[in-house]
Structure 1
């Protein structure tokens, strides 16, 4: 009977074989198996791209972690444990085969291999796909900084950001950055190129303005119906055509904020991160609401408790980047704007390193993000002020040009030792995305501006004490110069004044002054001069306000501002004020009062707090009660008034104390203004030494004394 039963079964339709256990298609192992097969297939086609290298490392890490979990799981039977370990061995075998094909990924198998934010993101997504439970904070990848910046102790993750991540847990980053150009160095392989590139902007201008070719705009209206000027529409058209990195160095007042927001709209670069000085955060929110009203905007204050985590535009100031750099780098921004980009010129500063770190993380996640550096004064003291800005934009790294710029330099066909290299190298950098327009060239409807110096005599006891202090400092410098000259040995004597030694003596004196807070020095003298001029400067501003209308009054020090406000109060003039210690709401209220209230005659401003980002064009007269240490700071202050929409000629009145170091500082500021003119505007003006004005002023005092002036 048994045999007959077997024959009937064999002679009829064969029944499907019974499974002794169900196929396990749930959990982490199937996810790893699918991912590792995708990587293996990619390796069979050629070298692995960054997206697959990231996946390779994520699989390797999760496989190790799962193996350890399986071995330690007391709830598994021996058979179940053996089955799962066998399947994990299969994943490991495919990883090994892949590494054999592309040996560059072998290093990723090491347990101590560096883990990028991209790898952590892919790893997290695999865990979610496997149904593993993660705490809400684990869904937000706040990567460890990839640069030398230490993880900030005050780091926070606002709850709104957690909510955004929870709402989009499977939103994948764009890892197609592998399609970026690869540098193929040939003749320039062993050249140090940073020096020649910077020099090309000093000596290679050839009379040309530093501005890339821009397309002709098809319209001068925005999607929201606002009207643009032609120069603004040109940049937006360039972004629409696919250009993605810009050093927008238009002169202050030409609408850089609007251009960057509309460029982001044209490039669909949202969510957009905007990093700004604290003083202009509110202004950026207003401008975003005006130019891209279809996009939501939020401003980060403090720990971000009241931010909108789902906003399209997130505005944060430099000072609180340390709290937010972790989650900002993982949010998935498609673009980043750095306003007043000269703030990051010191690469060693914490804010510069945070900005560079954020830009690098965005590039890791996003193919060709929109990156824009905005500054009307990109050069403060040296052409090398470009360096950190270029690195933010991704044109260079720490040591050399990146692939796109390197290939452009190779295409020149010359080395820095050959004629013609500097002009062509400058052009290659400009075409990476430098855009520089001057008011006189593109905004004929903006009236001219002029700087008028008002010399004042400090003939009271304070003035005499200042001049006495200057004489004492000069005597000290001369004595130090002659001592250094006498101590020289083994050097040929220099005929006349040794100007190198003059600058060295000045540098020594500045270093000594930095190291001590006692005694008279150039800084304390300048501050005393500012206090001595305060009454005279305020008197002059009051006369202007009584005769020609609203006046903007700038000073560096709070005590000078206080003295000026006392003068205005005695004259019966209502004032507003902008100071560094104000909250954003207070500052906004003060500005609104000056702009909208006809009875507010003068706004008293700190050069530091109000020198950038504000629109004060309701006035056409600026009084500079104290001189800045840079021409850029002076220019920024004047351009709070000299802007698009200004209908009157603008005059900046500099109050200068005669027969003091004030006059020398004014001369140096004017000479420094030639730096940007030559490097960016194609001017043929002689470029003066690019040292600090403090050093130049001290050297000038010593030189004048040695010449017997």
Structure 2
């Protein structure tokens, strides 16, 4: 008679004890305990053996030019303790605008061992360089960016701090691992930043690695350093699963590991070269599980705050309490001395002509959606639904964004393929290409994936399974083609008969009123759609406003020059910024007004935009105005944002509510008038 495996015997015993069938998670846990008995006591050992560091005030570092606020002195103490503990680093998750850059520089200043690597979004590396020069002395800094960056490893080791971007990190890692074509052959090139053992590796805006399967995340995982730090005011934006990459980067054992349920195999990597058997033990992928998924992600996704989900949330809190420090502006208001921030939702109504156009578009969209519902094919047509939603959002901004879009005007295939996002049909400022060779703006396709009701959505163009590296370097465009595309929607309008929109006129009204109250007050205007910013710029210039623009195609040096122009010229009062290009890592405290022209599914993006001005160094009261058109899809998006805010608050605080992706019920809600 065949012998019953021990884990099957344990399953039978537990099933009889509970009087019900076991869940997949329970079966997996039993299998893991059989061959990895150390996992039985992980959470108890973590609570008992790894104390939560209680922040205390460290003394002001001598010679450091910035005076640390009390909570920043506490974080300096906390960071020193974390580096001496089991994690050798951690997550500094203070709310945006509380000076995480200064806090990290204080740590580097008090322990000047080198070299140190800082990886940041492109828009932020010049700000890091400026902050280092302003607040420290004696640091040699290398800006490792652009085609002329140094390749000599020994040269890089000489610097105290090396600054680079996520795009460069990804490119260097990809060329090292996969290689690139040169004269018909595949050539691999060693990545200098992966060949150095760094003293500290610091990921600024660390949520850039939230998708574990991208080359950027893998490139970050493979960096070698003694201490590792993640800086992010929004470590969690959409789903609890996004925290995995941060845990993995920090090297959390066993939380970031994959375990085999049939043997003692354990690995940080998903290693199935032939896609059939593990490279180490030979067992199938089905018999391997990620400990994070089993203990945290899957129970929360399936149960929310009930039963196993509630237990998983408690485990997550135990883990985060020991590796993350988060303070909010409200909690440390006395230390910060920040002026108040007021968020105002301005609600306007369509004109008769706009409403007629919108209702026509909405009727067509609703009829198409109802067809999918009746046929039971909502999930199969997610890409089409997303396109319908995007067009309704654009119509609420200005009808020309739909009527005069590239989608509706014949143009050459070369320009469309090279520069136009196939989701929003707008100029792709930060263009990346899927494996099926379709071009998207990075922010648009990220939003598309995050909002998906499917686990892995289809390509919105060819409807094959979408495979795209969200952190791949931007497509380099021919300058002449880029110039033609950059003329954008203004080149397709008859300026003699062009009419503004309700939303643009609402903005002009707000800015004109502000101009009469105080002509020196500066404002930031954010939109997701570049063509919409073009229309806004045209209208504001006709109204006599001096403006400047921040665009995704700018180099770090050009962005820095544009920001300084806005900050240093009193007559330039309006800064038009694409949410795709400048929603994070900017310090624009000369402004005290933010206007959000269109709502995103992800509320964290909007708060990041608001916090470009509500941060240390701001002395004026801050007003953030969200412009929403009533009786349109926008008012419903605002309501859905509240659900995501609840999920973020649940994980980063002690609240007990959560949500994941948009559900079919959410889509139905959006298509109700």
- TM bin, normalised by shorter chain, reads 0.5 to 0.7
Q: CA 1:620–1:701 in 2, change beyond 3 Å: closer, same or farther?
A: same
In structure 2, how many angstroms separate the alpha carbons of the residues matched to 1:664 and 1:423? Answer: 29
Residue 224 (structure 1) aligned with residue 64 (structure 2):
yes
Query: 2:92 is matched with which residue?
Result: 248
Residue 470 (structure 1) aligned with residue 439 (structure 2):
no
Q: 1:394 aligns with which of 251, 257, 260?
A: 251
Residue 425 (structure 1) aligned with residue 397 (structure 2):
no
The residue correspondences of 1:152-171 to structure 2 (distance < 5 A) are: none
- Asked if the contact 1:275–1:318 (Cα under 8 Å) also holds between the matched residues in 2, the reply is yes
Q: CA 1:645–1:329 in 2, change beyond 3 Å: closer, same or farther?
A: same
- Asked if the contact 2:119–2:164 (Cα under 8 Å) also holds between the matched residues in 1, the reply is yes
- Asked if the contact 2:244–2:256 (Cα under 8 Å) also holds between the matched residues in 1, the reply is no
Equivalent position SS for 1:220: coil
Give 1:263 deviation, angstroms: 2.1
Q: 2:117 aligns with which of 249, 265, 273?
A: 273
Considering fraction of residues, name the structure with more helix: 1
Give 1:521 deviation, angstroms: 1.3
- Asked if the contact 1:220–1:229 (Cα under 8 Å) also holds between the matched residues in 2, the reply is no
In structure 2, how many angstroms separate the alpha carbons of the residues matched to 1:253 and 1:188? Answer: 47
Query: 1:55 is matched with which residue?
Result: none
Q: CA 1:699–1:263 in 2, change beyond 3 Å: closer, same or farther?
A: farther
In structure 2, how many angstroms separate the alpha carbons of the residues matched to 1:456 and 1:531? Answer: 13
In structure 1, how many angstroms separate the alpha carbons of the residues matched to 2:640 and 2:551? Answer: 27
Residue deviations 1:404-462, cap 9 Å, x none? Answer: xx9xx99xxxxx99999657633531243201100011133112323211112222434
Residue 435 (structure 1) aligned with residue 318 (structure 2):
no
Q: 2:147 aligns with which of 297, 303, 308?
A: 303
- Asked if the contact 1:264–1:270 (Cα under 8 Å) also holds between the matched residues in 2, the reply is no
The residue correspondences of 1:547-696 to structure 2 (distance < 5 A) are: 547-548=517-518, 549-684=521-656, 686-687=657-658, 689-692=659-662
TM-score (norm 1): 0.60
The residue correspondences of 1:313-392 to structure 2 (distance < 5 A) are: 313-325=161-173, 326-358=191-223, 361-362=224-225, 369-392=226-249
Residue deviations 1:645-689, cap 9 Å, x none? Answer: 2222222111111111111111112331122211112235x43x3
Residue deviations 1:37-57, cap 9 Å, x none? Answer: xxxxxxxxxxxxxxxxxxxxx
In structure 1, how many angstroms separate the alpha carbons of the residues matched to 2:562 and 2:309? Answer: 56
Residue 524 (structure 1) aligned with residue 496 (structure 2):
no
Residue 458 (structure 1) aligned with residue 323 (structure 2):
no
In structure 1, how many angstroms separate the alpha carbons of the residues matched to 2:652 and 2:309? Answer: 21
Give 1:402 deviation, angstroms: 9.5
* Structure 2 residues not aligned, in runs of 5+: 1-31, 174-190, 260-265, 269-290, 296-305, 400-500
Give 1:699 deviation, angstroms: 2.7
Residue deviations 1:156-212, cap 9 Å, x none? Answer: xxxxxxxxxxxxxxxxxxxxxxxxxxxxx979946999xx99xxxxxx9xxxxxx95
Equivalent position SS for 1:521: helix
Residue deviations 1:33-85, cap 9 Å, x none? Answer: xxxxxxxxxxxxxxxxxxxxxxxxxxxxxxxxxxxxxxxxxxxxxxxxxxxxx
Q: 1:511 aligns with which of 380, 383, 388?
A: 383
In structure 2, how many angstroms separate the alpha carbons of the residues matched to 1:558 and 1:586? Answer: 18
Give 1:336 deviation, angstroms: 0.4
In structure 2, how many angstroms separate the alpha carbons of the residues matched to 1:508 and 1:191? Answer: 43
Give 1:338 deviation, angstroms: 0.7
Name the larger-Rg structure. Answer: 1
Query: 2:181 is matched with which residue?
Result: none
Give 1:527 deviation, angstroms: 2.3
Query: 1:34 is matched with which residue?
Result: none
In structure 2, how many angstroms separate the alpha carbons of the residues matched to 1:683 and 1:187? Answer: 35
TM-score (norm 2): 0.63
Q: CA 1:641–1:334 in 2, change beyond 3 Å: closer, same or farther?
A: same
Give 1:273 deviation, angstroms: 0.8
Considering fraction of residues, name the structure with more strand: 2
In structure 2, how many angstroms separate the alpha carbons of the residues matched to 1:239 and 1:609? Answer: 31
Give 1:270 deviation, angstroms: 2.3
Query: 2:339 is matched with which residue?
Result: 447
Query: 1:282 is matched with which residue?
Result: 126
- Asked if the contact 2:595–2:624 (Cα under 8 Å) also holds between the matched residues in 1, the reply is yes
In structure 1, how many angstroms separate the alpha carbons of the residues matched to 2:74 and 2:626? Answer: 36
- Asked if the contact 2:372–2:378 (Cα under 8 Å) also holds between the matched residues in 1, the reply is no
